[in-house]
Chain A
């Protein structure tokens, strides 16, 4: 079945450092790809998305490019802030022939940014 694999955390960075969180996927069909963020004590918030190969999703300085050839959707940010400390989830949707809209999540990567 469809699945998402993320790099294990925690990832600890100093403020203004460059961030990469790796995400790869396995899916039949042509899934849409997402990054969701979960701040401490809160629910899941959509950070960015990409719906087809070579699309780049971006939001709040974060970017991710849908790479079909490597089945990847790595999350990047050029300069992280303390306020970016959270758990980041990679997810896919709609990869199956039944066009299910449910999201399949990776295991999440905790990011800790130190001042």
Chain B
């Protein structure tokens, strides 16, 4: 079964450092998303991406965050200058295949720890 893959599975970084989280969505999907889950809390929407541009973003997704689809397969989330409160599990998702645009398939997540 097709899956969304994310790397790294766990990253530890110092406050103020830049971090790039990588995702390979399902190949025939057209919509891409990033979510985050702070430990023990709800899953929060960050951003959606379609047709090579951001289609929607939440208030969490401030100027420190950016997304990019640098080639036909990868979808990246960059945090320019990490803060302690950025520590969370980040999930990438994609949709738009046969199951429909509103059925999201999630990756296993990238755990970010900011020290």
A binds B: yes
Alpha-carbon separation in the docked complex, A100 to B108 (Å): 23
Contact A102 B56 (CB under 8 A): yes
Binding site for B on A (CB under 8 A): 32, 34, 36, 42-46, 49, 51, 89, 93-94, 98, 100-108
Contact A104 B31 (CB under 8 A): no
The 7 closest A-B pairs by CB, nearest first: A44-B106, A43-B108, A105-B43, A107-B42, A93-B102, A43-B106, A101-B102
Alpha-carbon separation in the docked complex, A78 to B55 (Å): 40
B contact face: mostly helix, strand, loop, or mixed: strand
Alpha-carbon separation in the docked complex, A51 to B99 (Å): 12
Kindly supply a per-residue 1/0 record for chain B positions 48-86, scoring 1 wherever the CB is within 8 Å of any chain A CB and 0 otherwise.
100000011000000000000000000000000000000
Return the contact of A45 from the options B31, B33, B106 (Cβ within 8 A): B106
Say yes or no: is B107 at the interface (Cβ < 8 Å to chain A): yes
Alpha-carbon separation in the docked complex, A101 to B45 (Å): 11
Question: In the complex, which residues of chain A have a beta carbon less than 8 angstroms from the beta carbon of B19?
Answer: none
* In the complex with contacts A44-B43, A105-B43, A108-B42, A94-B107 CB distance below 8 A: no
Question: In the complex, which residues of chain B have a beta carbon less than 8 angstroms from the beta carbon of A106?
Answer: 42
Contact B107 A101 (CB under 8 A): no
CB-nearest residue of chain B relative to A93? B102
Nearest-neighbour CB distance to chain B for A87, whole angstroms, equals 10
* In the complex with contacts A49-B103, A101-B31, A42-B108 CB distance below 8 A: yes
Contact B33 A46 (CB under 8 A): no
